[in-house]
Amino acid sequence: MSATVLTASALLLDMDGTLVNSDAVVERCWRRWALKHGLDPEAALKVVHGRQGYATMAVLLPDRPVEENYADNRVMLAEETADVDGVVPIGGAPAFMAAIAGLPHALVTSADSALATARMGAAALPMPAVRVTAEQVGASKPDPEGFLKGAAELGFGAADCIVFEDSEAGIAAGRAAGMRVVGVGPRAAALAPDAHVEDLTQIRVEAAGDGTIRLHIDGA
């Protein structure tokens, strides 16, 4: 099996599908919402990952007033925050988070702060000190705003950052930010990230002597 080595100054980490497997909750909540609005749940689930809820609703119901999407999104966030049944860490996530604990990294998620806290807690993963949540951005992924804010808060340029993402919207956001992307999991496989892993067990983190981060990626 081949190995790829990527070097960066900082890592920007998506949460759902990248660090935390929350698919069971996402599917339960969005299936209910889609059926309530007369939509095909399977079609809805194809566009939900990686975006903020209101942005998904805008794709699925393009003629609906945005105010209704924001109102529904508040309800959806409350439902998702209260439901952590089946939320578990992605394979290798605990060891990966331990390996980067002393290195520059940030969480960049479409979840709001309460949802991020609930899911990271349910998965027993440490919450990064630097995080960009839904409240801090004006535009959802695939807009690059969140990743650019995360890089700026860590004090690094886009070219010095590597994004970890699982979804089409997230990978597009990382690319639009001018960053390299490691795709995690099955959704990312067909999206041509710079490297792809099934889960985080395929990554070994090395802190180089010059302060950079070396990612040894098996099978990438």
pLDDT of 176 > 70? The answer is yes
All residues at 6 or more sequence positions from 171 whose CB lies less than 8 Å from its CB, including other chains: 163, 165, 181, 183, 188, 191, 193
Query: Residue with structure tokens 């886009």?
Result: 158
pLDDT of 60 > 80? The answer is yes
- pLDDT bracket for residue 220 (50, 70, 90): low
- As a whole number of angstroms, the distance between CA 156 and CA 159 comes to 8
- pLDDT bracket for residue 118 (50, 70, 90): very high
- As a whole number of angstroms, the distance between CA 114 and CA 198 comes to 28
What's the token pair of residue 154?
Answer: 């860590």
For the chain, give the mean pLDDT.
95
Asked whether 107 and 134 are in contact (CB, 8 A), the reply is no
Asked whether 187 and 173 are in contact (CB, 8 A), the reply is no
- pLDDT at 136 (0 to 100): 96
Average pLDDT over residues 120-140: 97
- pLDDT at 4 (0 to 100): 92
Secondary element (H or E) of residue 170: helix 168-176
- As a whole number of angstroms, the distance between CA 95 and CA 120 comes to 14
